[in-house]
Each structure stands twice: as structure tokens, then as C-alpha cells.
Amino acid sequence: MLGASLGRFETGSWNRYSAFIPGSSTLERVLRGTGIDTVLVAGTKTNVCCESTARDAMMLDFKVVLVEDCCAALSDDEHRSALENVIQQFGDVMTADEVLIRLRHLENKETGICP
């Protein structure tokens, strides 16, 4: 159920570029334990922590969406380059509005509500 899956999980802080590096956080275990198979990535820096987390999530068989307007880098060029890397190799890139539309659509499908 999407509604049950939406929420905030406390996974602690991590000290590596990727949240999925073994020993850096409990994120993978928490997601797998709740049956979540898709990761929305947001934060800073797009080309460092966000891209590293997106890459590792894909390699661990999670579906990945990098939320482009919820990420930032030191320059527009670095930001765009990371977005391009992700969309070509590791997952999808969407805006926050696009993500919300998809989530609402999925939730409506699960509850039988037709918009």
C-alpha cells in the first residue's frame, strides 16, 4: 500500500557520500524491511552525494528517481551533468511536481478512486 509506505524513516546520519554504502546507515535494511522498492533522491550535492546514492541504490536493485528541483550542486553544469548521468544509466529524473502527480495517481489506483 502506497499510503502505508509514505513516511519518514529514521536511519541515522551517515558519513559517506552514498547512503547505501555498507556501514554508513540502516537505510537499505529499513527499505527492504518495509517492502519499499523505489528511492526518491534529493539533497546536496547533486553530483556527489545524490548521484552516489542513486548509483548504489540502482546497483542494489532499487528503482531510482532523482528529484531534480530538490537537488543542488555548486554550479549548473555540475547539476546538469549529474542529472544526465542518472537518467542515462541509473534511473529516472523528475521534478517534485511530477513525483507528486505519480504518487497521487498510484494512491488513487490502490484505493480505487478515479480522479
Per-residue pLDDT of the chain (115 residues), as tens digits, is: 344 445 555 555 667 899 998 888 888 998 999 999 999 999 999 999 999 999 999 999 999 999 999 999 999 999 999 999 999 999 999 999 999 999 998 888 777 666 5
In the chain, the number of structural domains is 1
Residues contacting residue 73 through CB under 8 Å, at least 6 positions apart: 44, 45, 46, 47, 48, 79, 82
CATH number at residue 67: 3.40.50.850
User: Which secondary structure element, helix H or strand E, spans residue 93, and what is its range?
Assistant: strand 92-94
